[in-house]
Chain A
């Protein structure tokens, strides 16, 4: 499976600031996703990062708060904007491998964000 790295691995930020998280894959992939895991909660899909076009956001998530870039098939960024303590979460990128309609997603190591 693809090797996925994320930067930073963790950060502590002040409220009102923004943080950009990078996701790098060692091979070209069509589908990349961003998830959030809030403390004690499950993983929730934020958006699908589309190469060359705007990301597709899930209900409850908006571009102004979570702008996403996908400049090529191996890289994506997620920005958490105007942060508040409620944004404290683990943020994960994932990639889907394979050409079937339903394929397995593989996850990066995650970015643990704490907002004070």
Chain B
């Protein structure tokens, strides 16, 4: 069975602090995809990044960076120099092939960035 765990329910930081959101996944499949999505207060779900199981290269996009480690089944997300606009719920997701790609989500981490 597949599972995504986001142990941090809520995180509160002050603007300009760095913050890391943790994601641990479980799957027996060797081919899978990992994702992060952002859900701002307006409610839409915005895709941030996708990683496949064969690509452990870390990625940086502006103030965002992602650290994928298969050895610990983790796919953590760091926001550098956080801003108030980063306040949102962030979801980690796992997609595996079950006759089609089934994507399941973690419970989400609510990030509050205070000015």
Are A and B co-members of a single complex? no
Which A positions have Cβ atoms within 8 angstroms of B?
A: none
